Chain A
Amino acid sequence: MQIFIQTLVTGLVTGCLYALIALGYSMVYGVLKLLNFAHGDLYMVGAFVGYYMIQWFGGSSALVIPAWLVIIFMLTLAAVAVGGLGVAIERFAYRPLRDAPRIAPLITALGISFILEDSVLLLFGGYVRSYNSQNFISYSTALHVDGVNIGAVQIMIVALSVVMMAGLFLLVNRTLFGKSMRAVASDREAAEMLGIDVNHTIALTFFIGSAMAGVAGVMSGLANEPISNYIGFLAGLKAFTAAVVGGIGSIPGAMIGGLAIGLFESFSSSYVSSQYSDLIVFAILIVTMLTRPQGVFGQPPLQKV
């Protein structure tokens, strides 16, 4: 039972992170019909931003300002910086390709991925780092369930993720901006002709999606996941699976998908084999694609003849 709860908690935490990244994938796909393969690398950049914030303030064992303040700074800066980076990438690399054949944005995304991963490698080196958050966040039991310790960090991650997802849900469904987002996702030309500033909407969508990925990066670092310039690739792939399984383009789909994949990964790692947990996640994707390609919440591709 203990193992079960432990696995469940780990799965939830990972799931929340995947969900945040997956949301960015889904939102961007929704408005641009573009699979942004460089999205995972934005998560990586966020993790680095957080890491260097810690170093700036004295390093994990000797912070000069209170830990909670550092965390707030990290999250805010990561959100803004990575969000801004996402907007720049859209403006610079994707906007010229709005009407190009499908393969062009794909190649561009791969190129951006190269650039991000290797620029970070160039600037900061390739060795693996860790936030060492145990030095500034008390890992003493925040919650004690059935003999299992649930740390403060894990609670924080889940809580913050839920808040962000709730906020996004409200934004998309209850605000005017959300409506314009959905309009652009539905039919870009029509939206433009109805007076919606499409470029602005797309840029803002990118900002939000990228910001969330950046925040996920920081939170992953706080959970003491290893940080290196290549973490974006695998995380991106998994979040991508989550977005697709949940239904690419669907916001609730990305959330559910992220949690599902996180839990699947955690449980298969605990109960089956940690070596093959990646393959199991891939297998889920293949099965979903073959049986219900539009995902759980997605709509089947329409074709008017």
Chain B
Amino acid sequence: MAPIGVDEWVARSGEKREQAGRLRRLGERLNSRVGWWPRLAALAIVGLVYGQLGLNLNFQTVGFNSVLYAILALGLNIAVGWAGLLDLGYIAFFGFGAYGYALFSSHAFGNLVALQGGIHLSIVAIIPIVLVGAGIVGVLIGLVALRLQGDYLAIVTLFVGQAFVEIVNNVDPTVFGGNNGLYGLDPWHGLGGRIGTLNGYYYAALVILIMLMAGLHLLDNSRTGRAWRALRDDPLAAEVMTVPVNRLKVMAFSFGAIVAALAGIVFAAQQRSVFPTNFQSSVLILIYACLVLGGVGGIAGAVLGGVTVTVVEAMLSSPTDSSYLFYGLILLAMVARVRPWRHLALMLGAIVGFGLALRAIVGAISHAAIAGPPGSVGWIGTVMRHFVIVPTGSITYGNILFAALVVALIAIVQLRGIWRQVAIVPTVYAAACCWESRLIVDTGVTAQIVLGAILVVMMAARPHGLLGTRRVEVV
């Protein structure tokens, strides 16, 4: 971003504020009026209320996972967002915490120290032990990271993360459980009480999250927070301005490790088990997605990202909800990019018209071609039944349509102006047909594809995330 003079800057931001929609302006005004602490309190209240609603297991799981991923994203934010260190091995700290908890709440440790029955500690003892251990490991990794810059750091930490999974998988199955992991872990117990239900762990995680947000906010506005952010902007300048860069890098790793390990303790207890597959790179990518979607560097962003990714993932796993998400995203994309409004209305009308017409034509030629059932359930399914072309035995058809869809999307990016808007019409219709006939059948696989697509589009459209601000990078 080129440097501009003050008057121009003031004028431009005024302009931008006027152009932003009314809703946006309301949001911003609310944001600046209400202080940080009231907002945190509001979040805490929302979280508590959510737990009290007595929702079914699915909703409870989504709630728990949201809080868990928010905690993980916050921890990652320390190293990546504040100190600017690309830590791709973060998942290993999560695993450290989880396996640490497992070792002290099951018979597993017994195999290592020849103690029958293993060690079963109360949570009051486990937390300090595991967190201190995580802190030390974080320091060690940090010391290693000191010798590396940028991309090299990313590579090494990635491999450390991989190595963790390999080690836990292969080394001493009697202690670490090998492929099958460890199960039958004790629930949290101590101080006379225990937590045994999902809801219980949800509240525990929520308390941790709120305290963490408060602590990190206070840390951000202190000398340590400033030092980290300076280190991210320009490590050399920071060093010359009295910031002991090496010590702060190590601290960032260590703090992140402690947060991740804490999340691991909650995770392992709730699941009553740990498996190596809980910590593979797909999980790491999800955590990064949380951070990046929310906006790297901000506490609110990390939490929002955690919640968003969890909700999206949950929706993608259920057949009913994934349709909502799919069509919702398409509509959102069109609303966001197609201006003015009458063009959008025209386009939607054209899509409907095109679809119905094509379906009628194809149906007239061959009845079997449209006899297949749409995959969606509920009212969406009922609507789509009369709209999309789904032949019986639709797998191959769906496959071809999918391939064609990818090509069409790439082509659309190349087109401009009116041609692009024209091309969007059949493409959206094809997307709907493809969804109903093929994509919705394999929800797990589709979920991954959609998640990948969201990441790609998000980065292309708004690399600084939902709540982040544009950064100026020092080259």
Contacts and interface: CB of A to CB of B under 8 A. Distances in A.
Interface stretch (B99-107, B116-124, B151-159, B202-210): B151-159
Interface in A87-141: 88, 91-93, 96-97, 99-108, 110-115, 117-119, 121-123
B289 interface: yes
B162 A122 contact: no
A91 B413 contact: yes
Interface stretch (B142-150, B183-191, B343-351): B142-150
Given A97-B459, A112-B456, A275-B170, A118 B445 contact: yes
A100 B413 contact: no
A107 B445 contact: no
Contacts of B147: 289-290, 293
Contacts of B86: 102-103, 106
Contact of A118 (B148, B296, B448, B459): B448
**Overall SS of chain A's interface:** helix
A157 interface: no
B451 interface: yes
B152 A118 contact: no
Interface residues of B, number: 53
A27 interface: no
Interface residues of A, number: 50
Contacts of A88: 410
Given A122-B439, A123-B402, A111 B456 contact: yes
A162 interface: no
Contact of A115 (B80, B288, B449): B449
A289 B148 contact: yes
Interface in A263-305: 275-276, 278-279, 282, 285-286, 289-290, 293, 301, 303, 305
Contacts of A118: 445-446, 448-449, 452
Contacts of B448: 114, 117-118
Interface in B438-475: 438-439, 442, 445-446, 448-449, 451-456, 459-461, 463-464, 471, 473
B159 A108 contact: no
A222 B446 CA distance: 30
Contacts of B413: 91-92
B285 interface: yes
Contact of A119 (B402, B451, B464): B402
Contact of A114 (B80, B156, B455, B459): B455
Interface of B: 80, 86, 144, 147-152, 154-156, 159-160, 162-163, 166, 170, 236, 281, 285, 288-289, 292, 296, 399, 402-403, 406, 409-410, 413-414, 438-439, 442, 445-446, 448-449, 451-456, 459-461, 463-464, 471, 473
Contacts of B454: 111
A122 B452 contact: no
Nearest to A113: B452
Given A110-B285, A289-B156, A279 B296 contact: no
Contacts of B463: 97, 100-101, 104
B154 A121 contact: no
Interface in A27-73: 29, 33, 35
A286 B159 contact: yes
With most chain B CB atoms within 10 A of its CB, the pick from A108, A117, A279 is: A108
B154 A111 contact: no
A122 B166 CA distance: 28
B449 A123 contact: no
Interface string A200-238: 000000000000000000000000000000000100010
B456 A285 contact: no
B397 to A, nearest CB: 12
Nearest to A298: B152
Contacts of B402: 119, 122-123
B155 A107 contact: no
The 4 closest A-B pairs by CB, nearest first: A114-B452, A111-B455, A115-B452, A104-B463
A112 B285 CA distance: 12
Nearest to B159: A282
A181 interface: no
A241 B156 CA distance: 10
B296 A278 contact: no
A32 to B, nearest CB: 12
A248 interface: yes
Given A110-B455, A118-B446, 13 more contacts: A93-B456, A96-B461, A101-B473, A102-B86, A102-B150, A103-B292, A108-B456, A114-B449, A115-B452, A115-B456, A118-B448, A122-B449, A237-B162
B292 A112 contact: no
B473 A99 contact: yes
B89 to A, nearest CB: 11
A289 B446 contact: no
A278 B402 CA distance: 36
B31 to A, nearest CB: 23
Nearest to A240: B155
Given A101-B463, A103-B296, A240-B155, A114 B451 contact: yes
B38 to A, nearest CB: 31
Nearest to B237: A305
A122 B163 contact: no
B459 A100 contact: yes
B163 A305 contact: no
B152 A244 contact: yes
A285 B289 CA distance: 26
Contacts of B80: 103
B460 A35 contact: no
Contact of B455 (A33, A99, A107, A117): A107
B460 A122 contact: no
A52 to B, nearest CB: 12
A113 B409 CA distance: 17
With most chain B CB atoms within 10 A of its CB, the pick from A33, A103, A105, A285 is: A103
Given A111-B459, A114-B452, A122 B446 contact: yes
A107 B449 contact: no
10 contacts: A101-B471, A101-B473, A107-B288, A114-B448, A115-B453, A118-B445, A118-B446, A123-B399, A282-B159, A293-B152
